[in-house]
Amino acid sequence: MTASLSGTVIEPAPDNAADAAGVAIRTEGLRKTYKSSRGDVEAVRGIDLNVPQGEFFGLLGPNGAGKSTTIGMLTTLVAPSGGRAWVAGHDVVKDTVAVKRRIGVVTQNNTLDMQLTVSENLQFRSRFFGLPAKVAARRAAQLIDAFGLGDRRNAMADQLSGGQARRLLIARALVHRPDVLFLDEPTAGLDPQTRVNLWDILKVLHESGQTVLLTTHYMEEAEALCDRVAVIDHGKVLAFGTQEQLKDNAGADTIVTVRFDADLPSDFTERAQLSALPGVTRVEADGEQLRVFSREPEGLLGTLVSTAIAGGLHIRDASEQKPSLETVFLTLTGREYRE
Amino acid sequence: MTTTLQPADIGTKADPVAAEAIAALVNDAPVPSPTLLKTFGAMMAREFRVLGRNAVSTFIRSVMQPLLFVFVFAYVFPKIGGGIMVGGGAARGGVNFATVLVPGLMGSMFLMQGMFGTTMPLVMEFSWQRTIEDRALAPVPIRVLGIQKICAGAIQAFIGALVVLPVTYFVHAAGQGPHIHVSNWLVFVLVMIGASTLTASMGLLLGTAMDPRKMQMVFAVVLMPMTMLGCVYYPWSALHAIRWLQILVLLNPMVYMSEGLRAALTPSTGYMPIWAVMLALFGGTLVFGYLGLRTFRNRVIN
């Protein structure tokens, strides 16, 4: 399915000076295969990225697309099976210590040190990075205040709420002034208020010059935060560019969805010759639902409705989705994203 | 009447975050200058902070076992049975059981504190949240983190074993106290260090190689046989009556800890040649340390 779309994939900008300053993250054919007795799993199958300093970059894809594995390789915690990658100019395999010095990582799981308090989590992380104990204590206090954790400073890390823990994870990733901040699904499982609150923090960080690589399976998160996005699925980059580029070029069609009160006859789409309608790129009939992807959506909904009525079908509801990251994503992967 | 929450309210209802403060923190942060030594020191400081926080439970855990053992064997038994002698000891002219027991108890404390003091935190850190990643992202090679785990476990083991001495000194029936004096300080210190590092290395291997769900079984098939057949309650030489067992237990690292301490503290009970003890303790540290660091790295790096 992805093969038929290869023409729509936007290639990364040509990279003349591969090791030039100003490149925060670069990968060449990065791949990872997990060996197992039940068969190998190709989690990442050759990813090429190029993220300049100061950019807020998003890896967007469904669960299991290879996002976390990619971030794992860039942060030295997953050993690549092939290809190469550099973070802040350092090879992630040969020079792990130099990479770790320059990155801050917010993992998807809560990796706070549960044996320590909120303040101690920040202090010891600072000290791991060579700050003297006094400086570490002062910096911990500042971070706690800035991240609104003042009343929890002496609480044990395992007593924090989900949102507080997430804020502390971000604060902890920033103690040593990283060149690149990695965020793996930072708002997964959080309530909407906490999510918006975290977005505010991330926006401010970005505005103050922080390079960020974020993975997410929430379209609205990528839309709200990212300068550029790579849509990935099955371990491959399907499209790459700014949101506008993606919407313009990556086959981001308007999607018209019609739901019926009974399953569609199997030959309905053929009989109605929907694919022959002007601008229609794809038709998906699935049970009671019909989804039509089109470049020329004007009048399409009306045509569909009248076609259905003429065919004796009863419509339950109908909707039209304008091009958005979500329609880009659905156009590229051809299905609802998996929560 | 119902109130609707406007989208604009959502952000303001969340905890306020000072945007300027965060921006300043990013841009005005002190530049870190990590070195291997600083990071290692900070990691050790973290271990002691945690140990200090759990000081009471750590203390109780390290005192209960020797306390109950000496209470039963050096107080209750002499009172009710008129003094229990072990074969080997009796043959050497009436060494009391407390004297036989002290090096053995110290050996078993090495195992409890060193091995399980290293294993249990690792099992927790490798469980589903993988909090080990917190330290794995510190700017040092992964093996340094593993070596740090061994050092922290070894220090716990060292202290845990020393606790046995005051306990056994004070708790016993009249005349049943152990006869202990350090006959050779060098041997004593080397055995203490070797036993500490050996048990902590074994703990690193066990904590990274074992499936956490099988920990109960590990207690049954590792801890119990190692303790019961580790020359805790009898000197190794006394096993000559059961030759096959005497040879078989040579596979048990516990034997060398108990026997090494007998050589240093209670030579009157008889002991194994010191070269064999040293070879086993330090050679074992190298072997288990190597294997443990390898599995540790493989668990941290996917």
What count of CB pairs under 8 Å joins A to B? 159
Provide the ipTM: 0.82
Q: What is the pLDDT, as a whole number, of residue B66?
A: 80
Digit-coded pLDDT (tens) for A21-76? 688 999 999 999 998 888 888 899 999 999 999 999 999 888 888 899 999 999 99
Digit-coded pLDDT (tens) for A81-134? 999 999 999 999 999 999 999 999 998 888 999 889 999 999 999 999 999 999
Window 38-67 of B, Cβ < 8 Å to A: 38-39, 41-43, 45-46, 49-50, 53
Residue B171: other Cβ atoms inside 10 A: 18
Digit-coded pLDDT (tens) for A324-334? 777 777 777 76
Digit-coded pLDDT (tens) for A39-51? 888 899 999 999 9
Long-range contacts of B89-97 (CB under 8 A, 24+ apart): B89/B235, B89/B238, B89/B269, B92/B268, B92/B269, B92/B270, B95/B179, B95/B266, B95/B268, B95/B269, B96/B176, B96/B177, B96/B178, B96/B179, B97/B73, B97/B176
Q: What is the pLDDT, as a whole number, of residue A9?
A: 40
Q: From A116, which residue of chain B is nearest by alpha-carbon distance?
A: B50
* A16–chain B nearest CA distance, Å: 30
Fold held by A254-322: Alpha-Beta Plaits (3.30.70)
Sheet containing A90-91: give its strands across. Answer: A41-52, A23-34, A82-87, A90-91
User: What is the residue extent of each domain of chain B?
Assistant: 36-300
Q: What is the pLDDT, as a whole number, of residue B182?
A: 85
Q: What is the pLDDT, as a whole number, of residue B10?
A: 40
Q: From A70, which residue of chain B is nearest by alpha-carbon distance?
A: B302
Residue that wins the pLDDT comparison between B203 and A300: B203
Determine whether the interchain pair B32/A101 forms a contact, defined as Cβ–Cβ distance below 8 Å: yes
Determine whether the interchain pair B22/A76 forms a contact, defined as Cβ–Cβ distance below 8 Å: no
A chain contacts of residue B43, beta-carbon cutoff 8 Å: 128
* CATH no. for A3-112+160-249: 3.40.50.300
A chain contacts of residue B132, beta-carbon cutoff 8 Å: 111
User: What is the residue extent of each domain of chain A?
Assistant: 3-112+160-249, 254-322
Long-range contacts of B71-78 (CB under 8 A, 24+ apart): B71/B171, B73/B97, B73/B98, B73/B101, B74/B98, B74/B101, B74/B168, B74/B171, B74/B172, B74/B173, B74/B176, B74/B177, B74/B178, B75/B171, B75/B172, B75/B173, B75/B176, B78/B172, B78/B173, B78/B175, B78/B176
C-alpha span between A205 and A210 (Å, rounded): 6
* A243–chain B nearest CA distance, Å: 23
Interface check for B130 against chain A (CB to CB < 8 A): the answer is yes
Question: Which residues of chain B carry a pLDDT beneath 50?
Answer: 1-16, 85-92
Determine whether the interchain pair A130/B43 forms a contact, defined as Cβ–Cβ distance below 8 Å: no
Is the Cα torsion angle A248, A251, A252, A254 positive or negative in sign? positive
- pLDDT reading at A18 higher than 60: no
The DSSP symbol for B113 reads I
- Mean model confidence pLDDT for chain A: 83
Determine whether the interchain pair A131/B30 forms a contact, defined as Cβ–Cβ distance below 8 Å: yes
